[in-house]
Amino acid sequence: MTKFSRRGLLRGAVTLGAVAALYSGTSVPALADSHATKIGVVAKVRIPWFDNVEKGVVNAGEELGIESWMIAPTTDDVAQQVRAIEDLIAQQVDVIGVIPNDSAALEPVFKRAQDAGIKVVVHEQPGQKNADWDIELIQNDQFGEAHMEAFAEALGGEGKYIVYVGGLTVALHNIWADAAIALQQEKYPNMELVGDRFGVSNSVEDSYNTAIDQMRAIPDLKGILIFGANGPIGAGRAVLDREAVGQVTVVGPFIPSQGIKLMKKGAITRGFLWNPIDAGYAMVQLGKLLADGVEVVDGMDIPGLGPVQVDFETRTIRANKMLDISPDSIDALADLI
């Protein structure tokens, strides 16, 4: 991935204008080249994970010679995503990319985009209705199972644990959790899931407070399994503050540069993820191919991803770019993302 140029940073500034437009009701000013392909990407919420997605979105536009930018709502309220998408429709962009907070709630606005001749690309949402394609950088079951294997190893295959997801409507987080829990029930019967899933891992503060509350409520709690990149940060801080390192294990995906200190102190044990910069780049790269009329075929080589698997039934394009975050790899990964 290339470094930001001055032009790329200026495109990043367009993102700020897009966010302002989300609340003022005005549109982002017309971009410099009215003939260039225009791709707007809507994130779930403004957190470090999506700051990195934005780097990929901007870099892709720079390298492909198109206009691409990202809008990041201030909260994970789906209404803000709807408003951002409506603004992009009004701008008559060529492609809209979205990482959905609520797949069902976005179906109507996606349909309006398609009716306007706009291609719709999603990420983290296989099978999204009224989207042209979903693009994924990991294999879902493998991702959930990899977390459970690392979690079970850290717990010695026994003990009580709880699960975080970003929200009960965040479908992919729950798919990963389903795969992880199914593996635990089959392979590690001495582990016990306590209670329902907590939809808090989009927020560091909510993840922290929930961890504090659950450690108090469950004195023999041994671990927190998390899907959602802010969850391990909040839970790890809670474990550190409660002096529970070595007693309560935290496993889940997180931005390495954000969580390196917590992992080095033992407050986060392990995690897996894909590079969010690559995810942003891939959404724009796919959007450009669709805008150019390129046919999607199984095994096609998408730059930066390599050959991909294509599921025409779910309209999903899938690569396998999973990264292992461990004490051995954290330094190198923190330099990357």
Provide the 3-class DSSP secondary structure of residue 65. Answer: coil
pLDDT digits (tens, 9 = 90+) for 188-220: 999 999 999 999 999 999 999 999 999 999 999
DSSP secondary structure letters along 120-155: EEEES-TT-TT-SEEEESS-HHHHHHHHHHHHHHHH
**What are the Cα distances from residue 128, in Å, to 102, 210, 281, 313?**
10, 30, 20, 11
**What are the Cα distances from residue 52, in Å, to 3, 157, 220?**
13, 34, 37
Which residues are CB-neighbours of 228 under 8 A, at least 6 positions away? 164, 165, 166, 170, 173, 200, 201, 202, 207, 252, 253
Q: Which of 233, 313, 281, 318 is nearest to 53 (CA)?
A: 281
**Positive or negative torsion for Cα 165, 167, 168, 172:** negative
Provide the 3-class DSSP secondary structure of residue 316. Answer: strand
pLDDT digits (tens, 9 = 90+) for 27-47: 333 344 457 899 999 999 999
Residue 303's pLDDT is 83
For the chain, which domains are there?
6-138+275-322 (3.40.50.2300), 140-273 (3.40.50.2300)
Residue 33's pLDDT is 47
Residue 49 contacts residue 229 (beta carbons within 8 Å) = yes
Provide the 3-class DSSP secondary structure of residue 262. Answer: helix
Per-residue pLDDT of the chain (337 residues; tens, 9 = 90+): 333 333 343 334 333 344 343 433 333 333 444 578 999 999 999 999 999 999 999 999 999 999 999 999 999 999 999 999 999 999 999 999 999 999 999 999 999 999 999 999 999 999 999 999 999 999 999 999 999 999 999 999 999 999 999 999 999 999 999 999 999 999 999 999 999 999 999 999 999 999 999 999 999 999 999 999 999 999 999 999 999 999 999 999 999 999 999 999 999 999 999 999 999 999 999 999 999 999 999 999 988 888 999 999 999 999 989 999 999 999 999 999 9
Residue 177 contacts residue 227 (beta carbons within 8 Å) = yes
Q: How far apart (Å, rounded) are the C-alpha atoms in residues 264 and 218? A: 26
Scored b (16 or more CB within 10 A) or e, 27-47 reads ebeebeeeeebbbbbbbbbbb
For 16, half-sphere exposure in the C-beta direction (CA atoms, 13 angstrom radius) is: 5
Q: Given the DSSP bridges, would you call strands 221-226 and 249-251 parallel, antiparallel or unpaired?
A: parallel
Q: How far apart (Å, rounded) are the C-alpha atoms in residues 235 and 176? A: 19
